[in-house]
Amino acid sequence: MRKKIVAGNWKCNTTVPAGVELAKAVVAAVNASGDPEVEVVVCPPFVHLTSVAAEVTGSRVRTGAQNCAAEPKGAFTGEVSAEMVKSAGAEYVILGHSERREYYGETSATLNKKLAQAFAQGLTPVYCCGEPLPLREAGSQNEFVKKQLDETIFLLPEADFRKLVIAYEPIWAIGTGKTASAAQAQEMHSFIRGAIADKYGRKVADEISILYGGSCKSSNAKELFANPDVDGGLIGGASLDPADFLGIVNGFKG
């Protein structure tokens, strides 16, 4: 069944103690008044994972990592494997974020190895895709995103594909305060779902959660989440503020 999901990507923010406090505040807010139909996930930096996972244990809040290594283990200084992430308590892992593609040269080939590692550990990948501004301005966003999908997750066998979550994050909307309009989000999500239907069939397409990311806040979540193909959000800046994050979690409520 298609899940509604709101996931916070904390990116490179908060110390470990501040992250634990933030997780505590998110749990309190979600327990008090979070929409019970929404799966809530927090994705702190690696070094916070164990403490944050312990903090959210027993609550409805789940934990995810922001990345994982392409290799299972070995002499890869500074890398953190999917197995480590899993053993620290994460259930999700964000893969292919545009910041990783852009600043750390992550290619489709690397991502395919990371996806394989995530699946091998039973983690749920949150696979990110999305176009840069010049492509949006040229009207080529669909072709760009389709190519990203074709080179990565569309190579997966159906059994794996069905387990992942997709996040559409137009790069021009990330951290810019410039959100895609509800119509732009719906148009792309519907395009992605259609491409999934072409590849894996309508039933699979209808079961995949497609999240929107890019300057999503409590003030615009309702409008974005009202779209039939928007199943939640991957939230950056606003996930650092428990009240704003709670407002997004409750963005499906009428």
Beta-strand pair 124-129/92-95:
parallel
Query: Residue 31's closest CA among 234, 242, 209?
Result: 242
For residue 240, state whether it binds ligand 13P (rule: CB under 6 A): no
Site string for ligand 13P, 86-115 (x = CB under 6 A): -----------x------------------
For residue 40, state whether it binds ligand 13P (rule: CB under 6 A): no
For residue 130, state whether it binds ligand 13P (rule: CB under 6 A): no
Q: How far apart are CA 191 and CA 6, in angstroms?
A: 21
153-167 per-residue burial string, b: 16 or more CB within 10 A, e: under 16:
bbebeeeebeebbbb
For this structure, is 169 an active site residue? yes
For residue 242, state whether it binds ligand 13P (rule: CB under 6 A): no
For residue 241, state whether it binds ligand 13P (rule: CB under 6 A): no
For this structure, is 207 an active site residue? no
Q: How far apart are CA 203 and CA 206, in angstroms?
A: 5
Distance of CA 186 to the CA centre of its chain: 17
**Considering the complex, what minimum distance in angstroms separates the CB of residue 167 from ligand 13P?**
7
Q: How many residues bind ligand 13P (CB under 6 A)?
A: 14
Query: Which position among 97, 99, 106, 189 bears the catalytic label?
Result: 97
Q: Which 8-state DSSP code applies to residue 171? A: G
For residue 9, state whether it binds ligand 13P (rule: CB under 6 A): yes
* Residues near ligand 13P (CB under 6 A): 9, 97, 169, 174-175, 213-216, 234-238
